[in-house]
Amino acid sequence: MEMIDARRVHELLDYKGLIPALETAHLGGMPKQSDRLIYQEPNPEGQPDIFIILPAWQPQEGILAKLVTSFPNNKARHNLPTVNSVYVFINADTGVTEAVIDGEAMIFRKTSSDSALGSKILSRPDAENMLMIGAGGLAPYLVEAHMAARPSIKSVKIWNRTAANAEALADTLSERGIAAHAVDDLDAAVSQADIISSATMAQTPHIKGKLLKPGAHIDLVGSFTPEMREADDDVLTRASIFVDHRQTTTRSGEFLGPYERGIITPDDVKGDLFELCQGKVPGRQSADEITMMKNGGGSHIDYYVAKYLMDRHYGRTFTTSCAS
């Protein structure tokens, strides 16, 4: 059994290779999955502590188990990251564990490449202005992944509830040669953005659909529980709605409330990444069309990325029988 650390994960999962590999994987079917298991411990100081288990299994190929925790008060209490995880990759022929992989690095690369694939298909090819909402650990990876998918991006604005964190992220990105700066007027930034990526723990929507410019693309990464929401009803009624997988809509607060109130129905979801990559549904239809993709990050994507990582680690050409 090998331990694959964060440095090696980032080295092997460069976006130039990872985004096309993820697109290739979506040309086939899905690995076998079980429903994710979520355990929550109430927290008197705010949002609950969460433990999530996500498994995926492709017979004769690989088994992946992702173990992840989200402890919102970690920073204040222990000066530790909110999200922590490990990935375990198992040989599906023998049941022997082949690798334990740094989970934080995997989550950053997997989640950002999922969003980037959606942007590659749905955003305008000439998109120039990106808005990043949220300045957590995932945010710089989302920015770089979107820029890999859309090299036309020239500037990145950062908004965060805590302004100092937005400034810090802008400084970090600027040091990497990215034209990034923090903003304090979210509504104005939304109205000017060609691509909006939001990765927050918000329970009250902060993206107002009425402000979206024609042709905008919205990438929603947060809202992974029924209580969370990042975009208001106007986003859903103005945008062509896509998801990374249709199962996403069964658990995200982005959809559950609007479904219950009749704002939209499941039929309003035009397609997922499988259907888009396989040409079963059309993506963007015009320059003025507003598109939205909910990044739900199912365990099938974890599996694809882990399999790509293992193949690169061992010097093999990336293959998955899911895509055969």
Confidence band for 299, pLDDT divided at 50, 70 and 90: confident
Q: State what percent of residues in the chain have pLDDT above 70.
A: 98
- 19-53 per-position pLDDT tens digit: 999 999 999 888 887 667 788 999 887 889 999 88
Alpha helices of 13-70 — where are they, by DSSP H?
A: 15-25
Integer CA distances (angstroms), 98 to 21, 91, 102, in order? 21, 6, 14
Whether the per-residue pLDDT at 248 is higher than 80: the answer is no
Output the pLDDT for position 35: 65
Q: What is the mean pLDDT of residues 267-293?
A: 97
What are the beta bridge partners of residue 156? 130, 180
Whether the per-residue pLDDT at 324 is higher than 60: the answer is no
Tokens of 120: 């590659």
Output the pLDDT for position 123: 98
Q: What is the mean pLDDT of residues 232-241?
A: 98
- 94-149 per-position pLDDT tens digit: 999 999 999 999 999 999 999 999 999 999 999 999 999 999 999 999 999 999 99
Give the C-alpha separation, 69 to 48, whole Å: 11
Output the pLDDT for position 223: 85
Output the pLDDT for position 323: 59
- 211-230 per-position pLDDT tens digit: 999 999 999 999 888 888 99
Whether the per-residue pLDDT at 1 is higher than 70: the answer is yes
Output the pLDDT for position 29: 84
Confidence band for 273, pLDDT divided at 50, 70 and 90: very high
Output the pLDDT for position 92: 93
Strand, coil or helix: what is 241?
Answer: strand
- 72-101 per-position pLDDT tens digit: 899 888 999 888 899 999 999 999 999 999
| DSSP H or E run through 58 | strand 46-58
Q: What is the mean pLDDT of residues 278-301?
A: 95
